Amino acid sequence: MMKTRTNRSTVFSMKFSVIIFSLLMLSSCDFLDENPKSTITTDNFYQTESDAISATNALYDYLSVGTQGIFDPSFGGIFFNDYWVFHDLVSDNAFETITSQEYRNLSEFNHTPDNIRIEFYWQDLYKTINAANVVIDRLPAIDFAENRKQHLISEARFIRGMMYFELARTFGDVPLMVEATTDVSTSYKPRVPRAEVYQQVIEDLEFAEQNLSETFRVGKGRPTPMAATALLSKVYLYMGQFELAAEKSKEVIDSGNYFLWDDYADIFKIENMNEGEIIFAVNFSGTQSEGFKPNQYLVRLLPSGLDQDGEGPENAQGWERPTDDLYDSFANNDRRKSVTFIESFTYSDGSTVSFEPHFGKFWDQEAEPRANNTDTDVIYLRYADVLLIYAEALNEINNGPTAEAFAAINQVRQRARFDGETERNVLPDLSGLNYQQFRDAILRERRWEFVMEGQRWGDLVRMGKLVETVNASGKENASPAPTHTLFPIPQRERNINNNLTQNSGY
């Protein structure tokens, strides 16, 4: 028997009591109140190789769940939720349903310097940078094998470079700190031009590219030399240095280390984490350090109200929802559409509940049928991104697409025609486009490929399309302006540090 839902408020009601209860239960765990690996800061700790490894391992907590206790309102690291929520929420891709005004303001482009989510994001980025600085500063004095020491320092420099890349593309000019803070007064620095920040990112990633080992501490969400190369290609793309973006992305392509899964759905299966086309992902399975490692994809994105008799998502809230414009932009037979969105759920008795589209791409229903705290990683770089970077860079260099540019974008489109068994007559190979047509095609392809993966806002901003695209989408209550090509510097940070200026328009 078919069950249907016609009352939107019933379908998408938020069960705050469920999630709060879950958080309260977790708060009883000592490792959430204080992670010993993340609170090691004394000089006398850094004496052995084991100490160096522990200090480096602590960096990954800052990326995932952070180092605050569960009761702290800032609980969660960089990739816990805000990184990937921001980029689609402050765009034409998603809108907010949560009662929290901070997220609604972001969705509607009404965010101000007092937005607490932006403040927490800024703080998390700098906490991670300082933790990386501690490793970079103190490991050289420890006596152990130089190649292993350089690898650990390279992990820290990769992470620091990644954090400064996020700061630069999100906030523009920011303070640049490359030494561990030992006195809070030394952290009150002014902003430096974004170009200087990017230069530091390049230096960190080049160091990592040259010194990361291919065999020591490989996998489980740790960077490799080729991950540094891939991230460099993206940094150069954002800088508008297209020759270097093409060069670095071509290195990744020619390495043969990565491939596109035949089926788009395979990217997000638990068994394929850090395999195939995944170049760098933030580990949320708890394999790198002690403690609970929740990922918020399923809690935030899947529809609420489906938990019945031990089946269906048991803690889903459906806070971020796809806009009609995003949903309608996909060709119906594009494999990515059926993977990206979930519109129905069938129970074991054969009954089906239908609802308006939600984001379902991250739910591996076979591995995690209850869809609670998923072990899936947050993907930061994958091979499809590199292919599209290469195609875009070639188009910019040559004032029009080359045969190689068409080949790169068409690889991504070809995968979208295939579900692992059947190829459908949809998304034909592109050809015969001029410079602007190809540029527009890249932007569309990136939209379809990377929904809720931390890409859309940045893509629209760097292509100068944010305001016109969001306005054309008809996103309800959205009022984008040129101001929104950068996020505001948090007011609380400016109150503490009088050297900080504000971005224009805030």
**How confident is the model over 437-477, as pLDDT tens digits?**
999 999 999 999 999 999 999 999 999 999 999 999 999 99
Instruction: At 6, list the tokens.
Output: 């016609």
Q: What is the DSSP string of 389-411?
A: HHHHHHHHHHTS--HHHHHHHHH
- Residue 194: pLDDT band (50, 70, 90) is very high
DSSP symbol at 192:
B
| pLDDT above 80 (res 10) | no
Q: How far is CA 275 from CA 4, 267, 378, 435, in A?
A: 38, 8, 13, 34
Cβ pair 320, 451 in contact under 8 A: no
Cα gap 494→491, rounded to integer Å: 5
Range 254-274 average pLDDT: 95
- Residue 18: pLDDT band (50, 70, 90) is very low
- Residue 74: pLDDT band (50, 70, 90) is low
Q: Strand 94-96 and strand 320-322: pairing? A: antiparallel
**Which of 283, 290, 140, 284 lies closest to 217 in space, CA to CA?**
283
Write out pLDDT tens, residues 150-163: 999 999 999 999 99
- In this prediction, residue 419 carries a pLDDT of 87
| pLDDT above 80 (res 379) | yes
Beta strands of 211-306 (E only): which ranges? 278-282
| pLDDT above 80 (res 19) | no
Write out pLDDT tens, residues 385-422: 999 999 999 999 999 999 999 999 999 999 999 988 88
- Quick one: which H or E segment has residue 281? strand 278-282
Write out pLDDT tens, residues 275-296: 899 999 998 874 444 445 678 8
Cα gap 304→122, rounded to integer Å: 30
**Which of 41, 198, 208 lies closest to 131 in space, CA to CA?**
41
Cβ pair 429, 414 in contact under 8 A: yes
Look up residue 333 and give its amino acid.
N
- In this prediction, residue 71 carries a pLDDT of 59
Cβ pair 359, 381 in contact under 8 A: no
| pLDDT above 90 (res 70) | no
Contacts of 101 (CB under 8 A, 6+ apart): none
- In this prediction, residue 45 carries a pLDDT of 67
- Percent of the chain scoring above 70 in pLDDT: 88
Range 39-62 average pLDDT: 81
Instruction: At 258, list the tokens.
Output: 């990565």
Cα gap 221→281, rounded to integer Å: 5
With tokens 């996909």, the residue in question is 330
Range 422-441 average pLDDT: 95
Cα gap 75→73, rounded to integer Å: 6
Contacts of 279 (CB under 8 A, 6+ apart): 224, 226, 227, 230, 252, 258, 380, 381, 382, 383, 385, 386
Range 125-145 average pLDDT: 96
- In this prediction, residue 372 carries a pLDDT of 77
| pLDDT above 70 (res 39) | no
Cβ pair 184, 155 in contact under 8 A: no
- In this prediction, residue 374 carries a pLDDT of 80
- In this prediction, residue 293 carries a pLDDT of 65
Cα gap 339→331, rounded to integer Å: 13
Q: Helix, strand, or coil here: 3? A: strand
What is the pLDDT of the chain when averaged over all its residues? 89
Contacts of 44 (CB under 8 A, 6+ apart): none
Q: Strand 2-4 and strand 352-359: pairing? A: parallel
- In this prediction, residue 7 carries a pLDDT of 34
- In this prediction, residue 482 carries a pLDDT of 98
- Quick one: which H or E segment has residue 203? helix 194-211
